[in-house]
Amino acid sequence: MNGAPASARPAWRERADGIGVNLRVTPGAKRAAITGIRDIGNDQAALAVSVRAPARDGKANEAVIALLAEALCVSRSSVSLQSGMASRLKSLYVTGDPTRLSRTLTALLTEQDRPAEGSSR
C-alpha cells in the first residue's frame, strides 16, 4: 500500500461510532486526492492526502475535510479535525458505521493501486 511497511500500525482505527484517521497532508497540490499510505515514523502510518488549497487561514483543513467527506460518502459535519490544525500531520474523526468507513477506505486504496486501463504501469 504505497510505502507503508508491514509493521506500521494502520492509518485509521475503528471506534464504536466511527473511525479515527491519521493524515499526512500536502497543501497547494496540483490536484486533490487520497494518494496512499505513508510511514510517519514511530511504527505509525498515515493516509496521504493532497489538496489544492493553500495552508493559510484554515483553507487546507477545510479542503481535507471536504475531500474525506466526499470519499467516504458522509456529510462534512461528520468529519472533525482532532489535532494538527497547523501541521501536515493531522488526526481526524469520522462519525458513522466504522465497518463501512474502513471498507470504503480499503477499497479506495485498493482501487488506486490497480493500474489504469491501457496503462503501462
pLDDT, mean of residues 13-38 = 96
pLDDT, mean of residues 11-32 = 96
CA distance linking residue 72 with residue 104, whole number of Å:
6
CA distance linking residue 99 with residue 68, whole number of Å:
16
Residue 115 binned pLDDT confidence (cut-offs 50, 70, 90): low
Write down all domains in the chain, each with its CATH number in brackets. Answer: 12-112 (3.30.1200.10)
Average pLDDT, the chain: 88
CA distance linking residue 56 with residue 17, whole number of Å:
31
> CA-CA distances (angstroms) from residue 56 to 42, 52, 89?
28, 12, 15
Expressed in angstroms, the distance from the first to the final Cα of the chain is 15
- pLDDT one-digit tens code per residue, 69-98: 999 999 999 999 999 999 999 999 999 999
What is residue 113's predicted lDDT score, i.e. its pLDDT?
63
What is residue 9's predicted lDDT score, i.e. its pLDDT?
67
What is residue 110's predicted lDDT score, i.e. its pLDDT?
86
